[in-house]
């Protein structure tokens, strides 16, 4: 009776998660003693992601990450602006990692492929690299192929049985102040139109190479070259992953300096150079994309929300702690024998956990430190879980099922996303599915100058019309497609100009779109034109009252109109146009 009530209450993503976790758990139970078990587990770790992506409604939308992704790419393709202009703050440089955007723009120019498709394929490859890097990392502690494959599986789908699982909501209801970060499941970062995948994969490769260097495994020269390359990739593609590279390199270098055996000191110096030189080369870029003048966009040391973070961290690591405790005899033996791989992994986990507690980033992005420690924790968890499969199989399989649920829920949300602004791929570009909207945005792309600046009611002009906004006036909640971002929060996170400047722009743009004036808004329009001197200015109005007022106001010239709204060109000499018309009316 209880189950009969339980299952109908579950959503399709929840049912998918249960089927996903149960299927892989049963598959492992049937094959973990088989000769091909490692390949079966490795395939189970990778294959679900691209398969789910093929049927995902999530990518048929203009959501926040898709918007941030395509807008700078289109700008660079059309105008050749490097670094790109911020698509939601005309005249300001984009303060968001843009090198990946530039690379995708070049590939799209050469191949004619859709920019989102290029990105999704690159992220699918990055997930494969990520899983392979975890396997390489695990091989420093074990040669058992099943254990290595389990490490990759666990690292992809999460080390916590609470975050993004069925336990998250009851816990947060029981403890209202508790915040369980929902973005700490690594698979969530891949095939998801975000800057993280390639940088995160490079970070894990660098971490594995660092551990091998510390342990004296393989050619030091090749490992150092790989670390330097991955540092460069992480810094340029995703600076938060670059911080993870620094964390592992710092731990590895410290262990080498303390040990002082053989070539250790020389390797420590070379490791510092392998990380330091690429970082120095990228420093100007890192400063430009990380700089913030806003109150919400700063990064630094803070004890803000410290108690909530402690609780979040404790729940995040509790499963790791349980498995480590069950495997404590082996861990103690490793530590007593000064096993460098174990010491490095445990130290990195501690280092990144402390960083999560004390570092403050915009929109709680310090959670990235948690996903950066996942591979290290997953290796130790896999070793313990492998032993349990031999001694306490039922418990091990139940725990594995719970560990797979969070990743299953992440994947399960994608096919059933509620898409409120569907788009379709058309060559290099994305276009609105709704005919009226498609006609309007295609007109914008074809008939307005490439350096045009728009005042518009939402954020669709940059990805669909391929033009820059003067400011974000509104980013309304439009369902589960990433539009539910408060305008000022959105601006603080990515634009990072002074709050007063952003508020002033929002006020000016809202005055134009509100169209509540009794005489032409000369001072308002001139103030806007002063912020973007020499740039053609346009207005996209969708509200019927605003359209009526703009139609009757001199200085606004209607260029296009349909059911999706009207486009107005703003006169470059707005004051003269308004004054001239007023004189005619006066006579």
**Pairing mode of beta strands 556-562, 565-570:** antiparallel
Q: What residues are paired with 469 via a beta bridge?
A: 454
Please say if the pLDDT value at position 584 is more than 60: no
For range 185-197, the mean pLDDT? 92
Helix (H) or strand (E) holding 310: helix 306-326
Digit-coded pLDDT (tens) for 250-278 = 999 999 999 999 899 999 999 999 999 99
Q: How far apart are CA 84 and CA 91, in angstroms?
A: 10
- Residues sharing a CB contact under 8 Å with residue 255, sequence separation 6 or more, in sequence order: 214, 340, 343, 344, 347
Q: How far apart are CA 582 and CA 290, in angstroms?
A: 48
The candidate with the shortest Cα–Cα distance to 11, out of 409, 398, 406, is 409
Burial class (CB in 10 A: 0-12, 13-18, 19+), 518: exposed
The candidate with the shortest Cα–Cα distance to 453, out of 437, 466, 440, is 466
Which pLDDT does position 328 carry in this prediction? 93
Q: Phi and psi at residue 441, in whole multiples of 5°?
A: -70, -30
Digit-coded pLDDT (tens) for 303-330 = 989 999 999 999 999 999 999 999 999 9
Please say if the pLDDT value at position 547 is more than 90: yes
Does residue 246 contact residue 293 with C-beta atoms inside 8 Å? no
Task: Kindly indicate the confidence band of residue 526, based on its pLDDT and cuts at 50, 70 and 90.
Answer: very high
- Residues sharing a CB contact under 8 Å with residue 284, sequence separation 6 or more, in sequence order: none
Which pLDDT does position 587 carry in this prediction? 39
Q: Which of 191-195, 374-378, 442-446 is least confident?
A: 191-195
- % of the chain beyond a pLDDT of 90: 77
- Residues sharing a CB contact under 8 Å with residue 99, sequence separation 6 or more, in sequence order: 236, 237, 285
Rg (CA), the chain: 27
Digit-coded pLDDT (tens) for 73-104 = 999 998 888 899 999 999 999 999 999 999 99
For residues 204 and 483, the model is more confident at: 204
Chain mean position to CA 447:
33
Task: Kindly indicate the confidence band of residue 540, based on its pLDDT and cuts at 50, 70 and 90.
Answer: very high
Please say if the pLDDT value at position 130 is more than 50: yes
Q: What residues are paired with 455 via a beta bridge?
A: 539
Q: How far apart are CA 273 and CA 472, in angstroms?
A: 42
Does residue 469 contact residue 87 with C-beta atoms inside 8 Å? yes
DSSP one-letter code for 366: G
The three-point CA angle 349-350-354 to 5° equals 120
Instruction: Tell me the pLDDT of the chain averaged across its residues.
Output: 92
Please say if the pLDDT value at position 351 is more than 80: yes
Which pLDDT does position 124 carry in this prediction? 97
For range 554-574, the mean pLDDT? 95
Q: Phi and psi at residue 266, in whole multiples of 5°?
A: -65, -40
Please say if the pLDDT value at position 367 is more than 80: yes
Residue with tokens 């000369």: 522
DSSP one-letter code for 7: G
Q: Is 539 helix (H, G, I), strand (E, B) or coil?
A: strand
Digit-coded pLDDT (tens) for 277-291 = 999 999 999 999 988
Q: How far apart are CA 517 and CA 487, in angstroms?
A: 24
Q: How far apart are CA 18 and CA 286, in angstroms?
A: 41
For range 528-544, the mean pLDDT? 96
The candidate with the shortest Cα–Cα distance to 70, out of 432, 322, 385, is 432
Which pLDDT does position 580 carry in this prediction? 65
Q: What residues are paired with 424 via a beta bridge?
A: 431
The candidate with the shortest Cα–Cα distance to 73, out of 84, 62, 63, is 84
Q: How far apart are CA 213 and CA 107, in angstroms?
A: 35
Please say if the pLDDT value at position 518 is more than 50: yes
Q: Enter the pTM of the model.
A: 0.94
| CA dihedral over 321, 202, 123, 145, signed as positive or negative | negative
Does residue 127 contact residue 155 with C-beta atoms inside 8 Å? no
Q: Which of 147-156, 369-378, 567-576 is least confident?
A: 567-576
Task: Kindly indicate the confidence band of residue 7, based on its pLDDT and cuts at 50, 70 and 90.
Answer: low
Q: How far apart are CA 200 and CA 368, in angstroms?
A: 9
Q: How far apart are CA 98 and CA 195, in angstroms?
A: 9
Please say if the pLDDT value at position 58 is more than 90: no
Helix (H) or strand (E) holding 541: strand 537-541
Q: How far apart are CA 284 and CA 261, in angstroms?
A: 37
Which pLDDT does position 417 carry in this prediction? 84
Helix (H) or strand (E) holding 540: strand 537-541
For range 516-545, the mean pLDDT? 94
Please say if the pLDDT value at position 246 is more than 90: yes
Which pLDDT does position 478 carry in this prediction? 75
Of the CA atoms within 13 Å of residue 75, those in its CB half-sphere come to 29
Which pLDDT does position 484 carry in this prediction? 74
Q: Is 359 helix (H, G, I), strand (E, B) or coil?
A: strand
Task: Kindly indicate the confidence band of residue 199, based on its pLDDT and cuts at 50, 70 and 90.
Answer: very high
Please say if the pLDDT value at position 9 is more than 70: yes
Q: What residues are paired with 537 via a beta bridge?
A: 453
Q: Which of 18-27, 92-101, 351-360, 479-488 is least confident?
A: 479-488
Which pLDDT does position 84 carry in this prediction? 92
Task: Kindly indicate the confidence band of residue 482, based on its pLDDT and cuts at 50, 70 and 90.
Answer: low
Q: Which of 63-67, 167-171, 357-361, 502-506 is least confident?
A: 63-67
Q: Phi and psi at residue 280, in whole multiples of 5°?
A: -65, -40
Q: What residues are paired with 240 via a beta bridge?
A: none
DSSP one-letter code for 8: G
Which pLDDT does position 480 carry in this prediction? 67
Q: How far apart are CA 511 and CA 471, in angstroms?
A: 13
**Pairing mode of beta strands 429-432, 423-426:** antiparallel
Please say if the pLDDT value at position 585 is more than 70: no
The three-state DSSP-derived secondary structure of 387-431 is HHHHHCHHHHHHHHHHHHHHHHHHHHHCCCCCCCCCEEEECCEEE
């Amino acid at each position: 009776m209880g189950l009969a009530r339980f299952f109908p209450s579950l959503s399709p993503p929840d049912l998918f998660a249960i089927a996903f976790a149960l299927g892989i758990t049963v598959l492992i139970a049937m094959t973990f003693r088989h000769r091909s078990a490692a390949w079966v587990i490795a395939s189970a770790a990778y294959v679900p992601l691209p398969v789910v992506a093929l049927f995902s409604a999530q990518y048929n939308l203009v959501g926040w990450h898709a918007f941030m992704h395509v807008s700078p790419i289109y700008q660079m393709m059309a105008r050749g602006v490097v670094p790109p202009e911020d698509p939601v703050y005309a005249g300001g440089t984009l303060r968001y990692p843009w090198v990946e955007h530039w690379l995708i723009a070049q590939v799209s120019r050469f191949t004619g492929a859709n920019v989102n498709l290029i990105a999704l394929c690159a992220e699918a490859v990055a997930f494969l690299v990520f899983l392979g890097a975890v396997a390489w990392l695990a091989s420093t502690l074990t040669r058992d192929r099943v254990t290595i494959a389990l490490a990759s599986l666990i690292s992809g789908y999460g080390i916590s049985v609470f975050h993004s699982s069925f336990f998250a909501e009851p816990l947060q209801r029981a403890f209202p102040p508790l915040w369980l970060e929902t973005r700490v499941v690594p698979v969530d970062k891949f095939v998801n139109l975000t800057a993280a995948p390639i940088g995160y994969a490079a970070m894990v490769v660098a971490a594995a190479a660092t551990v091998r260097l510390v342990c004296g495994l393989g050619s030091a020269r090749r490992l150092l070259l790989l670390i330097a390359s991955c540092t460069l990739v992480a810094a340029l593609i995703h600076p938060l992953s670059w911080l993870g590279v620094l964390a592992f390199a710092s731990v590895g270098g410290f262990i080498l300096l303390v040990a002082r055996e053989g070539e250790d000191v020389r390797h420590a110096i070379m490791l510092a150079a392998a990380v330091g030189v690429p970082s120095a080369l990228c420093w100007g870029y890192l400063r430009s994309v990380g700089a913030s003048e806003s109150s919400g966009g700063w990064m630094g040391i803070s004890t803000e929300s410290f108690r909530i973070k402690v609780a979040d961290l404790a729940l995040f690591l509790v499963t790791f702690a349980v498995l480590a405790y069950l495997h404590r005899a082996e861990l103690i033996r490793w530590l007593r024998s000064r096993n460098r791989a174990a010491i490095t992994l445990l130290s990195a986990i501690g280092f990144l956990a402390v960083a999560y507690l004390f570092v403050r980033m915009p929109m709680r992005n310090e959670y990235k430190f948690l996903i950066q420690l996942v591979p290290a924790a997953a290796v130790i968890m896999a070793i313990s879980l492998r032993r349990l499969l031999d001694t306490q199989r039922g418990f091990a399989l139940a725990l594995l099922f719970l560990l797979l649920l969070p990743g299953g829920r992440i994947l399960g949300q994608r096919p059933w996303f509620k898409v409120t602004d569907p788009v379709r791929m058309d060559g290099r570009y994305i276009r609105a599915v709704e005919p009226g909207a498609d006609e309007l945005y295609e007109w914008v792309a074809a008939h307005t100058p490439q350096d045009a600046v728009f005042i518009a009611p939402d954020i669709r002009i940059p990805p669909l019309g391929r033009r820059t906004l003067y400011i974000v006036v509104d980013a309304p909640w439009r369902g589960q497609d990433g539009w539910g971002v408060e305008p000022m929060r959105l601006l603080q996170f990515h634009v990072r100009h002074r709050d007063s400047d952003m508020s002033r722009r929002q006020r000016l743009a809202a005055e134009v779109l509100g169209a509540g004036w009794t005489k032409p808004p000369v001072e308002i329009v001139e103030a806007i034109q002063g912020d973007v001197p020499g740039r053609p200015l346009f207005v996209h109005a969708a509200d019927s009252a605003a359209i009526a007022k703009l139609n009757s106001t001199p200085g606004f010239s209607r260029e296009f109109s349909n059911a999706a709204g009207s486009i107005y060109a703003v006169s470059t000499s707005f004051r003269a146009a308004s004054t001239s018309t007023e004189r005619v009316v006066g006579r």
